[in-house]
């Protein structure tokens, strides 16, 4: 609770790192730091920042295309929705804790990397949010001041989507053109990790903890309900990889749990009148929670790496107020300060640094499928990642 309270107050492959071994030797400090940049959508740290957050979000044509009057219409929508969303942030403590948790996790990851990967030490933590502070350009400016020459863009969306992960990547490119036109920072990226051990194993344990709160005689009949942020069907129909990757995360967790409980993947946070991925979390839960054959539910925020408004308000408040039998519903804890998760994130970065990869072999296909709907960005991902002096192919 103390941590939560504090949160509310504030063209060549890269040469792999030669070795990353466990060691207690302090990291070499006379080298430029390796930047580890946690990238996410972000959220207003204080409720009074809600309008600025929403304005940036609705003015992002990659996320919500509104035509030639994007900036004007986006601003009007943000102004109209601000009172309602501000009230929700007030109800969860006066703001989003996502900045606190992102900074906490990234700092812990870097400390761990200094121990297990001395060849790329020292590692310096950064957070770059798409719609809230610290914004991408603010982070880039700080990285240049700190003398960073190599950086890993670490997407905190475990499952890739053109509307989330890709939007952050495009903004990184745009702001690099402005803040770092000489391309002094050499970038690579961890762009997805839907079946990573650090995601699967902690979630399985957190689910089991909630299952153990049910009486033993009904425990195996409790439904595990994996809830992820939904996606407009027009994006799904482009070939977006998000639904398949979220499903892969769900299946991997259930494998760890030996499929001993019934489960479903459901979708939350639909916005607007257009078709989105369903069934909706609230609809499915409300349909089943009155049935005697369903003794209970464990809700799992499978696509989120920490608490924010979608868990703390949409599930913990809105959903629980709508159901008739709230005593049948428990939510698995979010990853937040989970030590196994954080140490596993460090292992992911270590493996990435050793691999010499620019990004996953899926990213170029993602780009081919979405580039016709994206503006003012690179013509190939290698323009951002890898040897900036080479010609993109």
Catalytic residues: 347
SS3 297: strand
Which token pair is 355? Answer: 């691999």
Q: Give the H or E element holding residue 189.
A: strand 186-190
CA angle 255, 260, 264 (to 5 degrees): 75
- Of 251, 255, 291, 285, nearest to 267 (Cα)? 285
HSE (CB half, 13 Å, CA atoms) of 113?
A: 30
Which token pair is 23? Answer: 């060691």
CA angle 138, 143, 148 (to 5 degrees): 165
DSSP letter assigned to residue 238: T
- Of 147, 15, 86, 120, nearest to 309 (Cα)? 86
Q: Which residues pair with 300 in a beta bridge?
A: 226
Which residue has tokens 């903004």? 171
Alpha carbon distance 209, 192 (integer Å): 27
Query: Is the backbone peptide bond immediately before 383 cis, with ω within 30 degrees of 0?
Result: no
SS3 276: strand
Q: What share of the chain is helix, strand, coil (3-state, %, to 5)?
A: 45, 15, 40
């Amino acid at each position: 609770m103390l941590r939560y309270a504090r949160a509310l107050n504030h063209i060549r492959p890269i040469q792999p790192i030669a070795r990353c071994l466990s060691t207690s030797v302090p990291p070499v400090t006379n080298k430029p730091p390796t930047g580890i940049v946690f990238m996410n959508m972000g959220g207003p740290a204080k409720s009074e920042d809600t309008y600025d957050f929403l304005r940036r979000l609705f003015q992002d044509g990659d996320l919500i295309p509104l035509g030639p009057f994007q900036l004007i219409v986006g601003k009007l929508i943000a102004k109209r929705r601000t009172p309602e969303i501000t009230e929700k942030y007030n109800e969860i403590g006066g703001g989003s804790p996502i900045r606190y948790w992102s900074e906490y996790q990234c700092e812990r990851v870097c400390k761990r990397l200094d121990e297990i990967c001395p060849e790329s030490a020292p590692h310096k933590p950064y957070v770059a949010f798409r719609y809230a502070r610290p914004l991408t350009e603010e982070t880039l400016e700080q990285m240049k001041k700190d003398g960073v020459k190599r950086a890993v863009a670490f997407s905190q969306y475990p499952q890739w989507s053109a509307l989330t992960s890709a939007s952050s990547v495009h903004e990184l490119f745009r702001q690099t053109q402005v803040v770092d036109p000489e391309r002094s920072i050499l970038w690579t990226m961890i762009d997805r990790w839907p079946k990573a051990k650090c995601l699967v194993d902690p979630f399985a344990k957190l689910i089991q903890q909630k299952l153990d709160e049910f009486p033993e005689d009904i425990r195996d009949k409790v439904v595990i309900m994996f809830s992820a942020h939904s996606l407009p069907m027009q994006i799904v129909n482009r070939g977006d990889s998000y639904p398949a990757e979220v499903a892969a995360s769900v299946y991997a967790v259930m494998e760890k749990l030996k499929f001993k409980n019934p489960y479903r993947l459901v979708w939350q946070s639909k916005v607007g009148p257009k078709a989105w991925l369903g069934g909706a979390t609230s609809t499915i839960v409300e349909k089943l929670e009155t049935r005697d054959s369903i003794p209970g539910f464990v809700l799992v925020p499978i696509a989120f790496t920490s608490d924010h408004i979608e868990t703390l308000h949409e599930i913990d408040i809105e959903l629980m107020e709508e159901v008739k039998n709230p005593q049948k519903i428990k939510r698995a804890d979010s990853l937040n300060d989970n030590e196994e998760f954080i140490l596993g994130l460090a292992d992911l970065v270590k493996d990435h640094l050793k691999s010499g990869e620019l990004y996953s072999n899926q990213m170029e296909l993602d780009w081919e499928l979405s580039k016709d709907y994206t503006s003012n960005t690179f013509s190939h991902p290698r323009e951002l990642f890898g040897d900036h002096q080479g010609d993109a192919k």
